[in-house]
Amino acid sequence: MNELIAYQRNLFAVYDEFFRRATGKSAKEFAPLDKFAETVPTLRSRSKAMENAFKWVEPELNKIYKHETIKAFGGAADLGGIKVVQGGGAHFRRTQLSAVKRMVLYTDTVLIPDPVFALTETERPEEKFHSIRILAKQI
């Protein structure tokens, strides 16, 4: 259990550091969810910082995904109690969050797949957000 907690803390610390490097703010300070689309275009002035953030995050995530993900999955499988796996999509929207909030009332563990891993793992021709591939190729 401690390894699983350490894995998640490390992963989210990398996400947090990437976001701060790219935007200059924490996720909480960046924009409320309903203003996110309006705030993103203001990042044009941070293009060099964003490029550097992507260059920093790729090797960090690759280290985590190559060396720790299998241990984390094994740790999750070893947890006792009632488990629910939330999955089936590459996006985590309000409906999924709402479902997780309800599930935690009845389960011991809710497993939510990492949506970033899929973007680093393989080409995804079905994705309609082509910019993520362009950004990845810039690195």
- Confidence at residue 81, expressed as pLDDT on a 0 to 100 scale: 75
According to DSSP, residue 33 is labeled G
| More reliable by pLDDT, 49 or 90 | 49
Hey, how many other C-beta atoms are within 10 angstroms of the C-beta on 11? Answer: 20
Nearest 10 degrees: CA dihedral of 9, 15, 16, 19? 180
Domains: count for the chain: 1
pLDDT tens string 74-87? 777 777 777 676 66
Residue 129 predicted with pLDDT over 60: no
**Domain of 88, in residue numbers:** 2-138
Asked if residue 123 has pLDDT above 70, the reply is no
Tell whether the model's pLDDT for residue 8 goes beyond 90.
Answer: no
Closest Cα to residue 90, out of 119, 64, 65?
A: 119
DSSP for residue 109: E
pLDDT at 13 over 90: yes
pLDDT, residue 87, reads: 65
Determine the 3-state secondary structure of 111 from DSSP: strand
CB contact at 8 A, 65 and 116: no
Between 46 and 111, the more confident residue is: 46
Whole-model pTM over 0.85: no
d(CA 86, CA 113): 7
